């Protein structure tokens, strides 16, 4: 008999599931807290649930994370995990510690159908959507692993960014319940301002997210005009800049923050000239969208045929935007030594023809590297 994976449910879903077992709603809340707040994997750990209920659960449900293929820790404290999602596919999550926060970058799909030119995930092609449980398994595992790793019972992950592999708004049905669990006080209790969905610009789903579950929004802009953006972010041909910026304006009516973050990957000689900065200023001024820019130093990979803009040009570009009154930051590269920087996720499994072989190799490496306990995940 197939059992339900309880990581697939938000609290409402879990309450409905408990009802099918003849249990009251408050049992769902207890169960939910055991799973997400305390990281329980076995029903026998749930000491305040009646033995009869634990037995019922054992017959009908499971708590199943994702097998960890590998874990790499950078000298700067960044940790990258590669998770096996079956059929030779793997996804990555990256933990980025900073003084005042701990951010987890989470994947939403195995591969990605959007195919942005500067993104190594985009070059892999699309395999499949992750389920709600597979999205949440990354957070569930990372939070409870990190508590053990850092020797604390306090929450470690304060921010989640849906910026890993995949276009989250092309996996909307699984994304929204996962976001609800992140925000739920009985789950991870994260603030809406600290959960960010990053999109390449799926306009109708930006509108739906504003209605269904408004969290912080980051938009991968990467170009100041349609011809260039058509080339860098192919989805632009379907939802051009004017439509995208109009959707951003509408989103702000619901958003927990009063600005949209525009991500802009700096590509040498492609989108990093003074003329591009001037066009960007005109574009956002004309749209009236309150925004911040985050300039991202490109992480080159061979198939892209692109190179990183020199630092001096990034600084000059940032200055032009700032001088025009737009708050602009340059993203620090983190985890360079473990290929965890932006656009490098699953870079080492991007050759899909040999992905199964690579996963097998990494598993062997993991058995030598990963601390006791991690390899048992899932």
Strands 101-105 and 109-111: unpaired
Would the annotation count 39 as a binding residue? no
Q: How far is the CB of 232 from ligand SF4 (least distance, A)?
A: 9
Alpha helices in 159-302 (DSSP H): 172-183, 203-212, 226-232, 241-252, 274-287
267 DSSP 8-state letter: B
Would the annotation count 183 as a binding residue? no
Which residue lies nearer to ligand SF4 by CB, 167 or 339? 167
- HSE value, Cβ hemisphere, 13 Å, CA-based, for 264: 29
Residue nearest to ligand SF4 (CB): 122
Is there a contact between 223 and 232 (Cβ–Cβ < 8 Å)?
yes
**Residue 248 among the catalytic residues:** no
Which residue lies nearer to ligand SF4 by CB, 196 or 220? 220
Tally of CB atoms within 10 A around 95: 26
Would the annotation count 221 as a binding residue? yes
**Residue 377 among the catalytic residues:** no
Q: How far is the CB of 169 from ligand SF4 (least distance, A)?
A: 9
Measure CA of the first residue to CA of the last residue in the chain; give whole Å: 19
Output the CA angle 170-132-54, nearest 5 degrees: 170
Scan for tokens 């990256």, then name that residue: 94
Would the annotation count 167 as a binding residue? yes
Would the annotation count 22 as a binding residue? no
Which residue lies nearer to ligand SF4 by CB, 66 or 161? 161
**Which residue is catalytic, options 213, 248, 291, 342?**
342
What is the H or E stretch that residue 110 is in? strand 109-111
**Which residue is catalytic, options 64, 92, 134, 377?**
92
Tally of CB atoms within 10 A around 353: 7
Q: How far is the CB of 289 from ligand SF4 (least distance, A)?
A: 20
- Contacts of residue 144, defined as CB under 8 A and 6 or more positions apart, other chains included, come to 39
Footprint of ligand SF4 (CB under 6 A): 112, 114-116, 119, 121-122, 165-167, 200, 220
Q: How far is the CB of 184 from ligand SF4 (least distance, A)?
A: 26
Would the annotation count 112 as a binding residue? yes
Q: How far is the CB of 18 from ligand SF4 (least distance, A)?
A: 36
Which residue lies nearer to ligand SF4 by CB, 165 or 314? 165
Catalytic center residues: 92, 342
Residue stretches of the annotated binding site: 112, 116, 119, 166-167, 198, 220-222, 299
Residue stretches of the annotated binding site for S-adenosyl-L-methionine: 166-167, 198, 220-222, 299
């Amino acid at each position: 008999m197939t059992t339900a994976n309880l990581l697939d449910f938000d609290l409402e879903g879990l309450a409905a599931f408990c009802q099918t077992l003849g249990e009251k709603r408050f049992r769902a809340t207890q169960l939910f807290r055991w799973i997400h707040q305390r990281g329980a994997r076995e029903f026998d750990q749930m000491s305040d649930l009646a033995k009869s209920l634990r037995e019922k659960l054992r017959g009908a449900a499971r708590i199943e994370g994702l097998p960890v293929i590998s874990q790499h820790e950078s000298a700067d404290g960044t940790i990258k995990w590669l998770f096996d999602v079956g059929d030779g596919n793997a996804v990555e999550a990256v933990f980025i510690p900073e003084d005042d926060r701990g951010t987890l970058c989470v994947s939403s799909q195995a591969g990605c159908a959007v195919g942005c030119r500067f993104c190594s995930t985009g070059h892999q092609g699309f395999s499949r959507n992750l389920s709600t449980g597979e999205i949440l398994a990354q957070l569930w595992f990372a939070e409870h692993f990190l508590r053990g790793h850092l020797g604390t019972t306090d929450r470690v992950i304060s921010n989640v960014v849906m910026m890993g592999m995949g276009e989250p708004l092309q996996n909307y049905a699984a994304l929204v319940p996962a976001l609800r669990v992140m925000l739920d006080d009985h789950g991870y209790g994260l603030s809406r301002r600290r959960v960010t969905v990053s999109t390449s610009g799926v306009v109708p789903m930006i509108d739906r997210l504003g209605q269904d579950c408004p969290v912080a929004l980051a938009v991968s802009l990467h170009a100041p005009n349609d011809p260039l953006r058509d080339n860098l972010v192919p989805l632009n041909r379907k939802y051009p800049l004017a439509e995208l910026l109009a959707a951003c304006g509408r989103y702000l009516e619901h958003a927990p923050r009063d600005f949209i973050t525009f991500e802009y990957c700096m590509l040498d000689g492609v989108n990093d000239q003074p003329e591009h900065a001037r066009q960007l200023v005109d574009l956002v001024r004309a749209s009236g969208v309150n925004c911040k820019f985050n300039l991202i130093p490109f992480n080159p990979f061979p198939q892209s045929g692109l190179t990183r803009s020199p630092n001096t040009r990034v600084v000059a570009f940032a200055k032009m935007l700032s001088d025009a009154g737009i708050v602009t930051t340059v993203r620090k590269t983190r985890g360079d030594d473990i290929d965890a920087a932006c656009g490098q996720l699953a870079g080492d499994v991007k050759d899909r023809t040999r992905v199964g072989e690579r996963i097998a190799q990494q598993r062997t490496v993991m058995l030598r590297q990963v601390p006791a306990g991690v390899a048992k995940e899932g």
